[in-house]
Amino acid sequence: MILRLIYTPLTSVKESPVYLLRNIERRAHYKGGSIDSKALLEEFSLLKQRLQPAVELIPSDDTEVEKAEKEVFKEDTEPEKRMSSFKMLFVSPSSRRGFTVVASVISLQVMMGMVPVQVYAKDIFSQAAPSLSSHLCSVLFALVLMAGSMSAALFSDKLGRKPLLITSAIAVGACLVSMGFFMQTNIAPPAVTAILILLYCFAFMLGTGTVPYILLAEVFVSEVQSLASMILMEWVWLLNFFILAIFPYMVQFLGIHGSFYCFAIFAVFDVLVAVFMVPETNGLTKEQIQEAFLGRRKK
């Protein structure tokens, strides 16, 4: 029964609507008709004009309707003449620069150490604040992460992506340096270090942990969106694996405070990338974002 529940959706689910819009044969499968049917061509014409308002069809009779519609979908019925998504991603200047910017901020986000801190939260709190309950600190840790994510959703549209990213990266770097200093010198009560760790988590989720994924959804045109997202998400998981694998060795050779200093260096890099490379995308259309990337290249 379980195998049947799994197998049935896998065999019945087809491609996404965006993919279908670029593949008239697949759409015909859903409609149950021929790819040359007038109803299917008219539907595709309407959808195409919504996505590309500059394409205008002004036919005078039914014959002209069919000619115009088939001309519009010529590139869809001849996919071999259309540039591949992979080639477009790295040949188009705006897509290539967008990929570079998003890859930079999303990589620096991982290297700021949030995933190791999450995985080793109990051990870190035990070292940072041995007098406090590590289980209680771990619960507070999760609550602070949720509060930071909700705050990011609230302020990302009001303040903009770029200011939020810069402010967050500065706060994360300051918290990491302070955490390393207090854990190295033990000049402050353990509760202070625990509070700093929680502030670090909140600051991270406020911008550096969320804005890169907002940019991932905004900066790419539909032709390369899925490919770019797949490549970058695979890269993120590889980086997460790498940082988790080396974190115990960082603690062994550098100490927990030295590890925090290393993470703070990447926060500084993130500030520089946000200031000089990341454009403000809040309220812009896909076309305006592409123009922003091209404009920055021309300067």
- Name the pLDDT band for 299 (thresholds 50, 70, 90): very low
Among the residue ranges 27-36, 148-157, 168-177, 223-232, the one predicted with the least confidence is 27-36
The model's pLDDT over 96-152, given as tens digits with 9 standing for 90+, comes to: 898 999 999 999 999 999 988 888 877 777 777 777 776 777 788 888 988 988 888
Q: Smallest Cα–Cα separation from 161: which of 223, 217, 233, 85?
A: 217
**What is the full DSSP assignment across 122-169?**
HHHHHHH-TTS-HHHHHHHHHHHHHHHHHHHHHHHHHH-HHHHHHHHH
pLDDT score of 235 more than 60? yes
Length of the chain in terms of residues written: 299
The pLDDT score that the predictor gives to residue 153 is 85
Structure letter (DSSP) for residue 113: T
66 contacts 38 by C-beta, under 8 angstroms:
yes
pLDDT at 86 exceeding the cut of 90 = no
Please tell me the pTM assigned to this model.
0.70
CATH code for the part of the protein at 85-298 = 1.20.1250.20
- The pLDDT > 90 percentage for the chain reads 31
| 68: pLDDT strictly greater than 50 | no
**pLDDT confidence of 48, banded at 50, 70, 90?**
low
Residue 19: what pLDDT? Answer: 58
pLDDT tens-digit readout, 167-215: 999 999 999 999 899 888 888 887 788 888 889 999 999 999 999 999 9
What mean pLDDT do residues 69-76 have?
48
DSSP string, 52-113: -TT-----SSHHHHHHHHHHHTHHHH-GGGSPPHHHHHHHSHHHHHHHHHHHHHHHHHHHTT
Q: What is the pLDDT of residue 119?
A: 81
Q: How far apart are the two ends of the chain, measured CA to CA in Å?
A: 62
The answer to whether residue 79 scores a pLDDT higher than 50 is no
- What pLDDT, on a 0 to 100 scale, did the predictor assign at position 60? 45
Q: Among positive and negative, which fits the CA dihedral 97, 100, 103, 108?
A: negative
Radius of gyration of the chain (CA): 25
Residues 6+ apart with CB under 8 A from 15: 23, 26
Domain ranges of the chain: 12-81, 85-298
Which range is least confidently modeled, 113-122, 251-260, 269-278?
113-122
How does the average pLDDT of the chain come out, rounded? 78
The Cα–Cα gap between 93 and 53 comes to 23
pLDDT at residue 138, as a whole number: 74
CA dist., res. 204 & res. 267, Å (int)? 10
